[in-house]
Amino acid sequence: MTIDALDLPVKPDVFSPLSLRRRITNNAATTFFVASFIAALVPLVWVLGVVIARGWYAVTRSGWWTHSLRGVLPEQFAGGVYHALYGTVVQAGVAGLLSVPLGLMTAVFLVEYGSGRLVRVTTFMVDVLAGVPSIVAALFIFSLWIATLGFQQSAFAVSLALVLLMLPVVVRSTEEMLRLVPDDLREASYALGVPKWKTIVRIVIPIAMPGIVSGVLLSVARVIGETAPVLVLVGYSRSINMDMFHGNMASLPLLIYTELTNPEHAGFLRIWGAALSLIIIVAVINLLAGAFRFLSNRRR
């Protein structure tokens, strides 16, 4: 048997014009993407560095996380952001409690049950909500909840506006996670005589749950720093308010906006301290999302 008779793979000519052009294109694309990544990373690191440098003194001071600004004078650097921290967490938490069930049911409908015109309309409305600016959502809630229905400005109205901003993120992330579940698992469950609703509840959703939870936490991190809803729908309070339906309630974005009018050095410290506190909260939420996904994958 001759060598020509053997079906051996032909080694590509690395010096051919086509191979050389591909290597040049690959190196150019790699260089471009690395340079773009560095260009995007530089302002991010710079912003984080400035916020940490200017806000570190405030967040590490005793009482920053456990006291409010009740009775504190504008020029006096005392108290803390406990009242604003409570308002931020409660407003985002209530928004999450309202948007997560709606988003989950909408995503299940689109993936498992939907067909025809209703799916197209629902998808279009979700896309519209995803592009709505926060100020538009705040003005819509103001015109409906306050001007039309007659309710007063409150933290609950802020949560309703945050629901409009969270809902498309929850729907899209949940929808993508549900589509990643293999159809073989659904068909195996149907072959065993399990109803469709029980297959979704007992098989599909538990498998997609790590991604769903991560998407929900990321949506909370996205809306937790919104300023427009708190400016339009609730007033600022220097003390803590536990009632979401009555009275003013502070939040970290609203505290930053309010202290901008304070010309004293204490106001400067509160602004950067509140900004760093907000960054810390968002970082913790993202770490929780990553940890939950890691633990879920390990358990599976």
Residues 47 and 166 in one domain: no
Q: What is the CATH number of the domain that holds 272?
A: 1.10.3720.10
Residues 152 and 94 in one domain: yes
Residues 150 and 289 in one domain: yes
What's the domain range around 282?
82-299
Judge whether 1 lies within some domain: no
Judge whether 283 lies within some domain: yes
Residues 51 and 170 in one domain: no
Judge whether 261 lies within some domain: yes
Judge whether 271 lies within some domain: yes
Residues 157 and 214 in one domain: yes
Judge whether 14 lies within some domain: no
Judge whether 117 lies within some domain: yes
Confidence at residue 11, expressed as pLDDT on a 0 to 100 scale: 54
Judge whether 125 lies within some domain: yes
Residues 156 and 39 in one domain: no
Judge whether 186 lies within some domain: yes
Residues 140 and 39 in one domain: no
Q: What is the pLDDT along the chain (300 residues), one digit of tens a residue?
A: 454 555 555 555 555 666 788 888 888 899 999 999 999 899 989 999 999 999 898 888 888 888 888 888 888 888 889 999 999 999 999 999 999 999 999 999 988 887 778 888 888 888 888 888 899 999 999 999 999 988 888 899 999 999 999 999 999 989 988 988 888 888 898 888 888 888 888 888 888 888 888 888 888 888 888 888 999 999 888 888 888 888 899 999 999 999 888 888 888 999 999 999 999 998 888 888 778 777 777 766
Residues 118 and 246 in one domain: yes
Residues 55 and 88 in one domain: no
Residues 55 and 94 in one domain: no
Residues 195 and 256 in one domain: yes
SS (H, E, C) the chain: CCHHHCCCCCCCCCCCHHHHHHHHHHHHHHHHHHHHHHHHHHHHHHHHHHHHHHHHHHHCCCCCCCCCCCCCCCCCCCCCCHHHHHHHHHHHHHHHHHHHHHHHHHHHHHHHHCCCHHHHHHHHHHHHHHCCCHHHHHHHHHHHHHHHCCCCCCHHHHHHHHHHHHHHHHHHHHHHHHHCCCHHHHHHHHHCCCCHHHHHHHHHHHHHHHHHHHHHHHHHHHHCCCCHHHHHHCCCCCCCCCCCCCCCCCCHHHHHHHHCCCCCHHHHHHHHHHHHHHHHHHHHHHHHHHHHHHHHHHHC
Residues 54 and 132 in one domain: no
